[in-house]
Structure 1
Amino acid sequence: MSHSIYLALDFPSWEETKHFLNTNELTGIPVKVGMELFYREGPAVIEKLRQNNHPVFLDLKLHDIPTTVMKAMQNIARLDVEMINVHALGGAEMIKRAKEGLIVGNAGTTKLIAVTMLTSMNKQVMNKELCIPGEVEDNVTHLAEFAQSSGADGVVCSVHETKKIKEACTNAFLTVTPGIRLAGTEDHDQKRIATPGYARNQGTDYIVIGRSVTKAQEPKLAYERLVKEWNNGLIK
């Protein structure tokens, strides 16, 4: 097990989640819970995972007016998860109030992570659909800098932006990188992707991986390969 690797539990129910973890002997590993599972099962699924010693990254990407996000964070803080995220595009005030909510709820022990640009986006989508000019990397770095100044502990970004963010925000500022794929597996709907070894070599702090493991023919072996690649820093 590596505390730098979060396995995305993108299952529709707790029963399927529990079956997967138990069948593949993955009890206690760090996991990411996203909207699909949380909206079906609610806070109870976090409590069940915590009872089985799973560190949890709660991936809800809050994006609302500052007061609403602050109040939501006060409740989320009571779940005692390792990390929770908001959209950086919600603005500096929203990020500040999110941090306030966590501090009120659990003295700020839960890390606040700001999502920069989703790894499903590329330059064309950013420029033409969102009307945000410039390069993806430059916009991600800008979002990281103001997220840091607003109280965030780190950002969600692609592996390819990690080094520039570390240079701009210092190594202490955390980078959480989804879009991780084992070599030879499908990209699915991600565009800015990388292997675990490449991510380690780029200096990211945490990686998030899902279907390369959960959809593998032998998930336990795929997870073990993931940990090995991360630990060894293999590029392939």
Structure 2
Amino acid sequence: MFDGVKVGLPLLLKKGTELLRDIAKLARRAGVLGVADFKLADIGDVMSSSLEAIAELGYSVAIVHAFVGVRGGLEALVDRASKLGVNVALLISMSHEGSKEFYDRHFSEFLKIARELGVWGVVVPATRPRLVSEARASLGSSTKILSPGVGVQGAKYGTAICHGANYEIIGRSVVKAPDPFRAAREVIGEVEKEVRSCLTSSV
């Protein structure tokens, strides 16, 4: 079982808004999350305007960079999001090695911002399982954790879930597979297997 579908800027630029609108409709029909991964990063007014477009397309979650700061930035965005009914997932670390050069040095500060704003969720990569655990301990059980970096980028399926994430974001392992539907089923099986294993070992 999958819990959502995520679309990004490359798909928007290549295929346009109509395809994204159709994908959002399918997500709603399936009762799963529709995640707009445009990694918003601007002043509050500009991000709020982008968020309105995301809401109009029908997406329930928007991924937003944490580094823009609260005053004049995230504060306005979160306020607008609550009025639009869009959940904000704050990006507080990234799955590539370069994240260590800046993002991860400020991880505790970004966690503080997430707590202060009371955002719906945060994005913390499966390639940094220690950070996933740290985020869960800091934010409590109500904040959702979305974890990319599983599969192609090296993290083992189920790793992030075992460290406290709610969702693992699987991209290229599925969409670039010769048979995406078969690949998706296999990935789900691997995630479930790993989660069962870590739950058993923790008892």
Q: TM-score, normalization: structure 2?
A: 0.82
Equivalence for 1:224: 185
Indicate yes or no: 2:77 matched with 1:98. Answer: yes
| % identical aligned pairs | 22
Cα deviation, residue 50, structure 1:
2.8
Q: Which of the residues 149, 154, 163 maps onto 2:133?
A: 163
For structure 1, the 5+ residue unaligned runs are 4-29, 188-192
Equivalence for 2:40: 62
Equivalence for 2:92: 116
Tell me the secondary structure at the aligned position of residue 38 of structure 2. Answer: strand
Letter in structure 2 aligned against 1:65: I
Distance 2:179 2:50 in 1: 38
Equivalence for 1:24: none
Indicate yes or no: 2:2 matched with 1:32. Answer: no
Partners of 1:62 and 1:87 within 8 A in 2 = yes
Q: Which of the residues 189, 193, 214 maps onto 2:175?
A: 214
Tell me the secondary structure at the aligned position of residue 57 of structure 2. Answer: coil
Equivalence for 2:142: 172
Equivalence for 2:17: 43
Distance 2:62 2:5 in 1: 12
Cα deviation, residue 59, structure 1:
0.3
Structure having greater relative contact order (Cα 8 Å, sep ≥ 6): 1
Flag the 1:148–1:74 CA change in 2: closer, same or farther, 3 A.
farther
Partners of 1:199 and 1:207 within 8 A in 2 = yes
Tell me the secondary structure at the aligned position of residue 67 of structure 2. Answer: helix
Partners of 1:175 and 1:206 within 8 A in 2 = yes
Cα deviation, residue 149, structure 1:
0.9
Q: TM-score, normalization: structure 1?
A: 0.71
Distance 2:146 2:57 in 1: 20
For structure 2, the 5+ residue unaligned runs are 199-203
How many correspondences in the alignment? 189
Flag the 1:235–1:82 CA change in 2: closer, same or farther, 3 A.
farther
Equivalence for 1:200: 161
Distance 2:115 2:58 in 1: 22
| CA-to-aligned-CA distance 1:194-216 (integer Å, 9 cap, x gap) | 22222221121111111112222
Equivalence for 1:144: 111
Cα deviation, residue 170, structure 1:
0.8
**1:3-14 matched pairs, under 5 angstroms:** 3=3
Distance 1:44 1:102 in 2: 22
Bigger helix share = 2
